Amino acid sequence: MELTIGREEDLRAYSMHIGGSQVVSERRMDSLDPYTGKVWATVPSGTASDVDRAVAAARAAFDEGPWGRMTATERARCLRRLGDIIARDAEELARCECRDNGKLYREMLGQWRYIPEFFYYYAGMADKLQGDVIPSDRPNFFIYTRREPIGVVGAITPWNSPGLLLTFKLAPGLAAGCTFVVKPSEHTPVSTLELAERVAEAGIPDGVFNVVTGDGTLGAALVNHPGLDKIAFTGATETGKRIAAAAAANLTRVSLELGGKSPNVVFADADLDLAANGAIAGIFGASGQTCMAGSRLLVEDSVHDELLERIASRTREIRLGDPLHPDTEMGPVANEPQHRKVLDYIEVARRDGARIVHGGAAAEGLGGYFVQPTILADVTNDMRIAREEVFGPILSVMKFSGEEEAIRIANDTRFGLAAAVWTENVHRAHRVAHRLRAGTVWINAYRVVSFAAPFGGFKESGLGRENGMDSIREYTETKSVYVELNAQPRDPFQLG
């Protein structure tokens, strides 16, 4: 299939979406195409007053609007329509996201073609959020529970996969009956604004889905807003900690999907071709800009050199270039600050004693924010490059001897988002998977997600879970209802 899409030269101008209206602002922000380094779209630079209006619109839609009065079955119909509309427009949405963050068009297209499945899945779950009948210890009471929507959600999304990572929040939240105020990254706001138009087309009432755009000060105004019932955030761990602290002031519920330093553990009995492919996909896919990136490759010492050469040989062939071109395998990083950060980490690793096997510099002659896919050997787990999340195409390779050392090194991190085990020994595969402290563990695979499987982290990789049945519970509260069966007065000063 031909995936090449041309770049139109017309500058796109977008508005915020608040309460069903398009809201303009005198202050504007530019969205740069990371491949060309040129402005391709502009969006409003919102203010705290815009956040106030958006939260008020979401509150009215929840408390007084038709969304709050809809049955779960009616909400499910809206979600299915939204899924159909996204499927219809997947190519345009993917193209916008590619222009915003520089990721491969074919990857973005694959994501947007998969996103409807999330809405179909949660549409099927919307009318199955049933409570329980509680066996009562008091014969004069009938007790049951209800699962009710948590209320107004403030969602803050990152720049690496804004559409997919918003969907992780939006699909279960809408199914539960919540309303949203979304603040996308200032680097990648366009696909979220495009999605807002399609949410309205799906018949979801005004005020249910609001989008405000701006920099970090706007995000701070949102997370500090007392009108929110929940904050759902995906992004850096340090930012997540600040959000949790701000939310605590208002006792706002939070779910945080944060950073990772995920270990890819390869034992000597693994299929090395598959392991090499998995290591490359885990760190150079999406230019390393995924929270689940397999940035630490742990290799049993007896096969270390052989696997390293296989990975290096394939890495030398990676085609960098225009992310809209079908032959491109790795595009630029998403923005100038990230480009500078990745290059700085390479220098830190070099000074700490890591050996550069491949890459180690900016990719010249391509324009935009390109970094060569970089492989570092002789890395030890106490180096900064092995401790801190980089969010770029840098693979740190370490040796281990035996299963116990592999598990010790893998778990020796403040993060716990993802991990992988490569082995042909089925007993070892499950044994090691059980001992790895990570929210997702792949066996002989890497970088796979599903709408049906919970995703989230241990330790400093976050709080709560996205996707699966666990996720919809994050957007509900449990209410207990006691029904008195005997219409007789009882002692008003005695509990029960």
- Hey, which residues are catalytic here? 257, 291
Distances (CA, A) of 83 to 17, 196, 448: 20, 13, 21
Tokens of 211: 């989008």
CB 98 within 8 A of CB 105: yes
Query: How many CA atoms, within 13 angstroms, populate the side-chain half-sphere of residue 115?
Result: 34
Closest CA to 166 of 134, 141, 191, 140: 191
Cβ-proximal residues to 410 (8 Å cutoff; 6+ apart), any chain:
263, 265, 296, 298, 419, 436
C-beta separation of 83 from 126 below 8 A: no
Which residues have C-beta within 8 Å of that of residue 18, sequence separation ≥ 6?
Answer: 50, 53, 54, 57, 210, 211, 212
**DSSP helix/strand/coil, 407:** helix
CB contact at 8 A, 345 and 326: no
102, amino acid identity: G
Query: Left, alpha or beta for 261 (phi > 0: left; psi -120 to 50: alpha)?
Result: beta
- Residue (of 204, 215, 229) closest to 83 by Cα position: 204
Run of H or E including 441: strand 440-443
Nearest by Cα to 384 from 396, 372, 375:
396
**Cβ atoms of 332 and 383 closer than 8 Å:** no
Which uninterrupted H or E stretch holds 61? helix 48-63
Do 290 and 440 touch, CB atoms closer than 8 A?
no
Q: Which residues make beta-bridge pairs with 143?
A: 134, 482
Grouping H, G, I as helix, E, B as strand and the rest as coil, residue 264 is strand
